[in-house]
């Protein structure tokens, strides 16, 4: 039985389709074959609202549909908004507006979750717990509280039964992804199954608030060396799978700094601190806040920038961090060859790539941006176009890089709104140069050389054992080596046809020579009425018969054999 044949999922599947059809996507779903795949009859689905379809853009209708479908699809839309390589820019812009704000859960339900997860009555855990939430989202809501030691904290609580709802939707998404990969051309390009698995991992990570606590602790330790940056401390004694308790940070919401009349802090200083911190997180640490929008940023009275809500983070391993650094260096130094090489080194190509042509297009793209004054260069938009161009050459970029593009675009938008005179590109230039110096410093080269020597040492130390095992296998009578040449059968077929033609040509030539020779023998050199003439005629006729028989045998052999 298929996934959609299960009664408990069929109703939800029909509800999902109904929402998308109502927002004008019925024809699209029908063309993909999704209605038929789900064994849902189109006549049972609601008709498309034509007025709504013409009144709103595709992106706006998609955003409204995702918001209506709840937490799983809101998260899906937020992740899709990081993929400008997959979706048109106007759709991405709309998905960035997704509102994850819903009516709060009743306080008694929140109390039940906290007490069950932390194993004690609420009064024993906190001296004060505000029943009115600071914020209510589709997955969790946040309350202010006071610990028994007098410390002000915020408590994040998952909504009851949210995991069951999300798991049900994820099963449907997995099945849809598998269907699209197998039945549509889009699957060859996008690999929806892998994307569904990645989304599954992402959303389950966000559902475990202990992981968010670990992310918060990790970022707090990494940014401790950065001036003017703060990350809240986790109260682990009051944290569990469904409950996260953090130090309360009192300050201004970043959105307040967007008002022209706001003069409580130095906006330019705040913007530079924010941009520098995120770029250092990416290029220095390889661990960064992936969603630095105004709602996740607080500014203290002294201009310190605090990062909150570490549900979505990005990670870059050493090699990927170097590649991204080289991409930035290629832009800063106007070296498109370095940029192309970094893209090629991702090893994400799904087919042959015309590197010369790609480099030419990157040159045009680079020049179009870098001819602008520094303050007008949009680094996030530039990387968005670079990654979209790479995707058009069938270079499938890792998810970390598309997330990077989205992070930079979000960061750039915040910086531009609070201090338009600050250029993210200008802030990035000295950081890139410093990181490049570190990359080619004596200590780094020494470290890499020692690491390479260690790896080669392990390889050489294991070589004698490998050779001994190999020689033992060679001595074994049953040991065989199989070699296979790619397209070997095609080449042998061509050779066989050529040899057949040559053989046939030689046979025909032989027959021609023999025929002419016999004709000459019959027609010349013997007097008329010679007694040998009848005897020779018999021999000639017999010889011609043998030649014809041999020729027929040769033709049959050529036509029936593959050798």
Contacts of 393 (CB under 8 A, 6+ apart): 349, 353, 354, 358
Which helix H or strand E contains 365, and what residues bound it? helix 355-370
Q: Which residues of 4-20 are buried (b: 16+ CB within 10 A; e: fewer)?
A: beeeebbebbbebbbbb
CA distance 19 to 28: 13
DSSP type of residue 154: E
Q: Return d(Cα 178, Cα 38) in angstroms, integer.
A: 13
One of 291, 345, 367, 438 is an active-site residue; which one? Answer: 291
Do the beta carbons of residue 159 and residue 105 sit within 8 Å?
Answer: yes
Q: Is 40 helix (H, G, I), strand (E, B) or coil?
A: coil
Crossing angle between the packed helical segments 424-439 and 379-392, to the nearest 10 degrees: 70
- Which residues are bridge partners to 143 per DSSP? 155
Paired tokens of 199: 């989304």
Taken in order 188, 189, 194, 199, the sign of the CA dihedral is negative
How far is Cα 142 from Cα 354, in angstroms, rounded to an integer?
52
Work out whether strand 229-230 and strand 243-247 pair parallel, antiparallel, or are unpaired.
Answer: unpaired
Q: Return the structure tokens found at 416.
A: 């531009």
Residue 175 falls in the annotated catalytic set: no
**3-class DSSP state of 160:** coil
Which of 296, 280, 384 shows the shortest CA–CA distance to 100?
A: 296
How many angstroms from the chain centroid is the CA of residue 533?
A: 90
Active site residues: 291
């Amino acid at each position: 039985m298929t996934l959609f044949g299960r009664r408990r999922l069929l109703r939800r599947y029909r509800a999902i389709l109904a929402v998308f059809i109502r927002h004008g996507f019925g024809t699209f779903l029908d063309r993909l074959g999704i209605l038929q795949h789900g064994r849902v009859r189109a006549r049972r689905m609601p008709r498309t609202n034509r007025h709504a379809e013409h009144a709103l853009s595709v992106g706006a209708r998609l955003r409204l549909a995702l918001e209506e479908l709840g937490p799983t699809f809101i998260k899906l839309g937020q992740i899709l908004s990081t993929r400008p390589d997959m979706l048109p820019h106007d759709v991405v812009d709309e998905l960035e507006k997704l509102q994850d704000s819903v009516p709060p859960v009743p306080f008694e339900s929140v109390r039940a979750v906290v007490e069950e997860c932390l194993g004690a009555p609420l009064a024993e855990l906190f001296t004060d717990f505000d029943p009115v939430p600071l914020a209510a989202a589709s997955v969790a809501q946040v309350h202010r509280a006071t610990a028994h030691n007098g410390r002000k904290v915020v408590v994040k609580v998952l909504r009851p039964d949210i995991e069951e709802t999300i798991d049900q939707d994820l099963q449907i998404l997995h099945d849809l992804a598998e269907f699209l990969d197998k039945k549509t051309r889009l699957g060859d390009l996008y690999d929806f199954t892998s994307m569904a698995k990645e989304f599954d991992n992402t959303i389950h990570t966000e559902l475990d608030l202990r992981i968010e606590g670990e992310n918060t602790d990790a970022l707090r330790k990494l940014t401790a060396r950065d001036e003017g940056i703060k990350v809240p401390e986790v109260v682990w004694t009051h944290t569990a799978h469904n409950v996260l308790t953090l130090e309360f940070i009192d300050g201004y919401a970043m959105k307040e700094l967007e008002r022209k009349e706001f003069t409580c802090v130095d906006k330019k200083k705040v913007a530079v601190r924010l941009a520098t911190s995120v770029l250092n997180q990416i290029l220095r640490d390889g661990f960064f806040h992936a969603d630095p929008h105004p709602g996740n940023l607080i500014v203290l009275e002294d201009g310190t920038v605090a990062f909150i809500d570490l549900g979505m983070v990005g990670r870059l391993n050493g090699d990927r961090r170097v590649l991204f650094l080289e991409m930035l260096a290629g832009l800063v130094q106007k070296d498109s060859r370095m940029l192309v090489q970094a893209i090629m080194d991702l090893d994400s190509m799904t087919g042959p790539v015309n590197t010369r042509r790609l480099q030419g297009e990157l040159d045009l793209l680079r020049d179009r941006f870098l001819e602008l004054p520094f303050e007008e260069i949009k680094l996030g938009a530039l990387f968005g176009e670079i990654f979209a161009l790479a995707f058009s050459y069938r270079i499938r970029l890792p998810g970390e890089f598309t997330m990077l593009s989205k992070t930079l675009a979000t960061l750039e938008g915040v910086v531009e709104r609070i201090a338009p005179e600050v250029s993210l590109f200008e802030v990035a230039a000295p950081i890139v140069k410093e990181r490049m110096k570190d990359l080619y410093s004596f200590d780094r080269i020494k470290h890499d050389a020692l690491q390479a020597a260690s790896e080669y040492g392990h390889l050489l130390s294991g070589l004698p054992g490998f050779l001994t095992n190999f020689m033992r296998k060679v001595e074994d009578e049953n040991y065989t080596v199989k070699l296979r040449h790619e397209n070997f059968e095609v080449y042998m077929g061509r050779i066989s046809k050529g040899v057949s033609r040559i053989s046939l040509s030689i046979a025909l030539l032989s027959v021609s020579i023999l025929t002419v020779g016999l004709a000459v023998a019959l027609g010349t050199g013997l007097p008329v009425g010679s007694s040998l003439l009848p005897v020779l005629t018999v021999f000639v006729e017999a010889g011609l018969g043998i030649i014809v028989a041999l020729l027929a045998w040769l033709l049959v052999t050529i036509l029936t054999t593959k050798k």
